[in-house]
Amino acid sequence: MFKPETYILRRKALKDEIRTGLAIFPGNTEASFNYPANTYHYRQDSTFSYFFGINQPDLAGIIDFETGAEILFGNDVDMDDIIWMGPQPSIADRGAQAGIKHTAPLADFARYIEEARTAGRKVHFLPPYRGETKIQLSEILGIMPKEIKESASVDLIRAVVKLRAVKSAEEITEIEKMVDVAYLMHTTAMKMAHPGIIEQEIAGTIEGIALANAGPVSFPVILSINGQTLHNHYHGNVLAEGRMMVVDAGCESEETLYSSDITRTVPVGGKFSSRQREIYEIVLNANLKAIEAIKPGIPYREIHLLAARVITDGLKAAGLMKGDTDEAVAAGAHALFFPHGLGHMLGMDVHDLEGVGENFVGYDDEITRSKQFGTAFLRLGRRLQPGFVLTVEPGIYFIPALIDQWKTEGKFTQFINYDKVEAYKDFGGIRIEDDVLVTDNGYRVLGKPIPKTVEEIENLMRR
């Protein structure tokens, strides 16, 4: 945990945003409390952790905007708990770690809310994303589970996004520590990426590095020689010469929940073929140009489109695309090869704040989500602010089913050389992802630099 002042100041900042009613924050319970016990790793709710800091199940918090009260609800352990979990601090002691003076048994949480509702006061809550929390809120608030998300407080969503999106120095330090663990994960994966090894050996090794150095992986490891499948969690292939291995992986701090999210792509065996190198340099150029464009005030969608233009120019030079670059990108033709967004906010959730609704995080009244295939998947489109931490992750993929579909439909034949593309259907995919802080006048790539030029990767992988 951070020091108590951090949590005191965060709750005070929330009180400065909302003046009426009270906000309730149910912490996460165990995902499998009874049978089968011990199945899932416990993960606290990120927003609960942001305001109350304590990673233990069956807690709840209230911030009362009218009375100023801040209450932590939870039960002290009994002898059964001590037998299974060992001695635990009292709820009062845990509250003190987050600067909370007022604690109460968990049963009082529902009573406090009931009294507030009876008095006609507004009860703000965030959209729940877990079944258990939906049921808990449904029972306390008397709202059907299927209606609970729509009943969430937009005022609270906006206020929490405003606070959590801008990272403080201590939050940036936490993220940067996680990027440094990702350095170990990725450089280890690169050194192991030689013909004959099974993907699972590498995936398991780097997950172990996360656990040994920080905490769990921040999302299930994506590692595959079939990188054309964007989120490939199948790890059963044997690495073979001629393939490229995509590794998209990061870790999260066990204690504070901040995460990293890094992607590197390397040629199996450590030497790029000229065809691999040509496509790789395009993705690298898009990654570098996009990072260089980061500064406060610029809409991230503009940078996404800049990356799309760099990719289109590169693919034109390689003979895979043709025509006017701006027209091709405006039409969305690049999305055959780059069918996802350039990046997303990063913080306590790998797609930070995803649970409250992505459009609240990545878009606003000025910049709304595009409906065009490709750009529609961009999670962050709005103007950047100092303190945002985001990912920059362009890619080029050759997805045989998508190529076949577009070719059959005769889609964008003025921009795509389908005959040439046919020869790349066995290529796979490439993605290069870094975690970047928006500073007062530009950007800073977080963490120890992880090899990403052709030369750096070939040097590291040389045996």
With CB under 6 A, what is the number of residues at the site for ligand GLY?
3
Nearer to ligand GLY, 261 or 434 (CB): 261
Smallest separation, CB 219 to ligand GLY (Å): 6
CA 374 to CA 462: how far, in whole Å?
36
Smallest separation, CB 232 to ligand GLY (Å): 11
455: burial class by Cβ within 10 Å (0-12, 13-18, 19+)? exposed
Nearer to ligand GLY, 313 or 352 (CB): 352
Nearer to ligand GLY, 193 or 247 (CB): 247
Query: Which residue's entry shows tokens 């790793």?
Result: 41
Smallest separation, CB 432 to ligand GLY (Å): 12
Run of H or E residues at 238 = none
The answer to the question of residue 435 lying near Mn ion (CB under 5 A) is no
The answer to the question of residue 174 lying near ligand GLY (CB under 6 A) is no
Q: Is the C-alpha dihedral spanning 325, 327, 329, 335 positive or negative?
A: negative
CA 428 to CA 279: how far, in whole Å?
11
In b/e form, how buried is each residue of 183-199, taking b as 16+ CB within 10 angstroms?
bbbbbbbbbbbeeebeb
Smallest separation, CB 164 to Mn ion (Å): 17
Going by C-beta distance under 8 Å and a sequence separation of 6 or more, which residues neighbour residue 213? 181, 184, 251
CA 138 to CA 121: how far, in whole Å?
17
Query: Which residue's entry shows tokens 């992802």?
Result: 433
CA 314 to CA 144: how far, in whole Å?
52
**The pairing of beta strand 434-438 with beta strand 389-392:** antiparallel
What SS3 class is residue 375?
helix
Give me the amino acid identity at 185: M
Smallest separation, CB 149 to Mn ion (Å): 24
Nearer to ligand GLY, 46 or 133 (CB): 46
CA 394 to CA 321: how far, in whole Å?
17
Residue 207 touches which member of ligand GLY, Mn ion, none, C-beta under 5-8 Å by kind? none
Smallest separation, CB 248 to Mn ion (Å): 7
Nearer to ligand GLY, 219 or 424 (CB): 219
Nearer to ligand GLY, 168 or 188 (CB): 188
Residues 142-171 that bind ligand GLY (CB under 6 A): none
CA 265 to CA 395: how far, in whole Å?
10
Tally helices (H) and strands (E) across the chain. 16, 13
Bond from prior residue into 36 cis (ω within 30 degrees of 0): yes
Nearer to Mn ion, 165 or 403 (CB): 165
Nearer to ligand GLY, 18 or 249 (CB): 249
Smallest separation, CB 108 to ligand GLY (Å): 39
Residue 7 touches which member of Mn ion, ligand GLY, none, C-beta under 5-8 Å by kind? none
Smallest separation, CB 180 to Mn ion (Å): 17
The alpha carbon of residue 375 and the mean position of all alpha carbons in its chain are separated, in whole angstroms, by: 18
Smallest separation, CB 396 to ligand GLY (Å): 16
Smallest separation, CB 350 to ligand GLY (Å): 6
Q: Applying CB under 6 A, which of residues 70, 248, 313, 352 lies at the interface with ligand GLY?
A: 248
Residue 352 touches which member of Mn ion, ligand GLY, none, C-beta under 5-8 Å by kind? none
Q: Which residues pair with 429 in a beta bridge?
A: 397
DSSP string for residues in 385-439: -TT-EEEE--EEE--HHHHHHHHHHTTTTTTB-HHHHHTTTTS-EEE-BEEEEE-
Nearer to Mn ion, 140 or 348 (CB): 348
The beta-carbon contacts of 418-422 under 8 Å, at least 24 apart in sequence, are 420/319, 420/320, 421/320, 421/336
Nearer to ligand GLY, 225 or 246 (CB): 246
The answer to the question of residue 261 lying near ligand GLY (CB under 6 A) is yes
Residues 385-424 that bind Mn ion (CB under 5 A): 391
Q: Applying CB under 5 A, which of residues 45, 261, 313, 434 lies at the interface with Mn ion?
A: 261
With CB under 5 A, what is the number of residues at the site for Mn ion?
2
Nearer to ligand GLY, 252 or 261 (CB): 261
Give me the amino acid identity at 449: P
Smallest separation, CB 248 to ligand GLY (Å): 5
Residues 265-284 that bind ligand GLY (CB under 6 A): none
Residue 370 touches which member of Mn ion, ligand GLY, none, C-beta under 5-8 Å by kind? none
CA 262 to CA 245: how far, in whole Å?
14
Window contacting Mn ion (CB under 5 A); options: 124-132, 202-210, 253-261, 398-406: 253-261
Contact positions vs ligand GLY (CB under 6 A): 219, 248, 261
Footprint of Mn ion (CB under 5 A): 261, 391
